[in-house]
Structure 1
Amino acid sequence: MTSPEPINGEHHIAHHLIRSARIVGEDGEESDAATVYCPLQERSTAVAECESCRRFHALHFDATARTTSVVCHAGPATPVEEGADPMRGVGGPLDPETPLVDIMTKGVICVRPDVTIDAIAALLVGHEISGVPVVDAESRPVGMVSRADVLRATQERGDTEESRRVTLQPDEIAPLDIGQGFHVYEPIKTTARDIMTPVVLQLHESASVRQAASLMAYEGVHRLAVTSDDGKLVGILSSLDVLRWFGRSCGFLIPPPARKRS
């Protein structure tokens, strides 16, 4: 590949981690949205848009960490990236103005409002996570479902689910062999829409860790949605992400979180 012309007379090669939002919809269908943070534009952008930029150089896949990065001529990358060298950023200055894009969890699993609690429970267990954001058709966060929400709904449901009466057409009755005076009922599935916390606490990806920590402490929550300029979800910031940043800044060696990857 031919490298672009030097910017201001010199090259600044940097790796920028591609963030992936895996969205699980009704009936289990899945879609993926890949974005990368551009330090020059100071915003997230689609990978396809990034590839068309004259500063774009290549895509790099790290087989050990199983992550993909954009290699470009756009200055330094974020100081701590998921799957990067755990020594990177250790003992650096404790800067409370560090942007969330540097420390947030970048591989996010999301669900649509119509996904059932059984499917959500399977995601929480399978990926060893404690909650999932709920997003609309434009990938904007509309709610948050925690492990406690799922457990509470399951306990309230018990062994049986609510049901609703179904009106059948005459040509649908015969195959079911339903006698006179009997009715057909179907179970009402409990979905993310029914149990989610509809008020989404969120901050822009350029907000500081100081703002995020203060908001989480004030509201008594353990995670925040991180959004881009257009309001789309690009990451999740958990209380553990803040603690990892604090520990690394204080000089401790803290490895990236061990998570199952899809």
Structure 2
Amino acid sequence: MTSPGPIHGEHPIPQHTIRSARVVGDDGEESVLATVYCPVKERSTTVPECESCHRFHALHFDATARTTSVLCHTGPAGRGAERADVLRGVGKSLDPETPLADIMTRDVICVRPEVTVDEIATLLVRHGISGMPVVDAEGKPVGMVSRADVLRAAQERGDTEESERLTLRPDDVAPLDIEQGFHVYEPVKTAARDVMTPVVVQLHESASIRQAASLMAYEGVHRLPVTSDDGKVVGILSSLDVLRWFGRSCGYLIPPARKRA
């Protein structure tokens, strides 16, 4: 790891933040997909791929922002430079062609379709977010689940849950001390696939803020999954991300989104 600095009196080396998409499964296990956006190739790449490129300089960890970036000789600092979210874009002229890779939320939480609504509620509260993508086994979006979906499911469920009859083997009956004629029922857990909104809108990370804002307004949605060339989720764009970009472009100092441990 190293800190960015001038090279032979030239501009500081541009930094490109490493993004992570964490996918939570029904067993609570998390898998992490780490990528970085390459402004030269205009697509996401893996860190090992970056390190093998002749433009690669070093990795840099920012203790204040708690982010890791790739230092890369991709041109003058400023094009994709990401020293800190607080300062990025402040005072720059409004550029509607700014790519989503520059303004989207880079650390995104995703869930599998089989994750229960109760687990989703816990994730929403723990991370202080209002929605997340639902992804398949390949990490491609199949739906979006929001806080409103969770609340709606809880209201519809009320005090009673659906249940399914369990078939027990004879050896299972004795320990449970169940009399003949009685049956065991287990509550059916409501999962993400039952409450999610199927994905109808998503954008590639190289798409512009102009396209995203227009699409979100037209479709009436507050968040869009952002995908890479292979269709996997690498970020998420919310209406707040758009407003944050607009405010900074107008010269206001706006802090990054709050994160909860």
Once the two structures are superposed, what CA deviation does each residue of 1:25-56 show, in whole Å capped at 9, x if it has no partner? Answer: 11211111100001111100112222222322
* TM-score normalised by length of structure 1: 0.91
SS in 1 for 2:27: helix
Structure 1 residues without counterparts, runs of 5 or longer: 2-9
Contact 2:224 2:238 in 1 (8 A): yes
> How far off its partner does 1:255 sit?
1.6
Contact 1:204–1:228 (8 Å) recurs in 2: yes
Residue 193 (structure 2) aligns with: 193
Residues 166-201 of structure 1: CA distance to partner in whole angstroms, max 9, x if unpaired?
111222222222211011111100010100001341
Distance in 2 separating the partners of 1:11 and 1:250: 25
Taking structure 2 as the reference length, what is the TM-score of the superposition? 0.91
Q: Aligned pair in 2 of structure 1 residues 160, 254: CA closer, same or farther (>3 Å)? A: same
Pairing 1:202–2:202 present: yes
Q: Amino acid of the residue matched to residue 158 of structure 1? A: G
Q: What letter matches 1:240 in structure 2?
A: L
Aligned to 1:164: 164
Which aligned pairs between 1:61-210 and structure 2 lie closer than 5 A?
Answer: 61-75=61-75, 76=77, 79=80, 81=82, 84=84, 86-210=86-210
- CA offset digits 1:203-240 (Å, max 9, x no partner): 01111111111111111110011101110001100011
Instruction: Give the whole-Å Cα distance in 2 for the aligned partners of 1:80 and 1:182.
Output: 67
1:4 aligns to what? Answer: none
Consecutive unaligned residues in structure 2, runs of 5 or more: 2-9
Q: Is the 8 A contact 2:99 2:208 kept in 1?
A: yes
Is contact 1:111-1:134 (8 Å) kept? yes
Provide the residue aligned with 2:48 in structure 1.
Answer: 48
The answer as to whether partners of 1:44 and 1:228 remain within 8 angstroms in 2 is yes
How big is the shift at 1:11?
A: 9.1
Which residue pairs with 1:256 in the alignment? 256
Q: Determine the C-alpha separation between the residues in 1 that align with 2:195 and 2:136.
A: 15
Q: Matches of 2:241 and 2:81 in 1, distance apart?
A: 11
- Which stretch has the larger CA shift, 213-222 or 251-260? 251-260
> How far did 1:80 drift?
6.9
Q: Closer, same or farther in 2 for the Cα pair 1:128/1:96, shift >3 Å? A: same
Q: Distance in 1 between matches of 2:87 and 2:60?
A: 20
Contact 1:79 1:89 in 2 (8 A): no
- Secondary structure, counterpart of 1:65 in structure 2: coil
- Secondary structure of 1:121's partner? helix
Other structure's SS at 1:244 match: helix
Identity over aligned residues, as a percent? 77
8 Å CA contact 1:57–1:71 kept in 2: the answer is yes
Determine if the alignment matches structure 1 residue 238 to structure 2 residue 238. yes
Give the match's secondary structure for 2:58: strand
